Amino acid sequence: MKTTNKLVMATNNANKLREAREILAPLGIEVLSQREAGADCDPDENGSTFAENAIIKATAVFEAVGLPTIADDSGLCVEALGGRPGVHSARYAPKGEECDKLLGEMKDVPDGKRGAAFRCTICYIDGSGHTEFTGSCEGAIGYEQRGSNGFGYDPVFMVGDRTMAELSADEKNSISHRGAALRELYRFLRERNGE
């Protein structure tokens, strides 16, 4: 069965949309924001896992627009904080203050204990049901904010000797948690289209 060439992403976040558009572009799929698709909904993300929240968002937008929809839920899981902020990453601190709060909580944590991972689950839903794709990016929490090419926790998330915010868009897409989940989705859609 040939899938539609339009796909709605249950977000209005320009950074997430850009990443999805770049990765899915070779399939000839046009990725629309939920606003562009006419979905005026903001479902309560009350799930206890990334997967549950992704399903909640994807289902709400799919029911509003009737087009194949993807939604992601992702966050930062820090070992020294018992996996926090995790599923609450977006609500961990006021917007723009996430890194400051995290660095404050981590100020006495030594080098060997600063491990962290970005984790992402993407839910794809269409008329035949839903499928989930996951991705992760392992790293560590740095000691200061560096770089300007990212958002959220990117300026404090170290991958090797650079932060996620110091990587180019191509470098980030190649290793990011959302990029990994989107590449799984890409393979799924390519096989489904018989390519």
Active site residues: 73
Count the helices and strands in the chain (H runs, E runs). 6, 7
Q: Between the CA of residue 26 and those of 22, 23, 61, 131, 174, what are the distances in Å?
A: 8, 7, 24, 21, 15
**Selection from 47, 50, 182 nearest residue 117 by Cα:** 50
Radius of gyration of the chain (CA): 17
Task: Report phi then psi at 30, rounded to 5.
Answer: -90, 120
Is 160 strand, coil or helix? Answer: coil
Quote the CA–CA distance of 185 and 71 in Å, as a whole number: 11
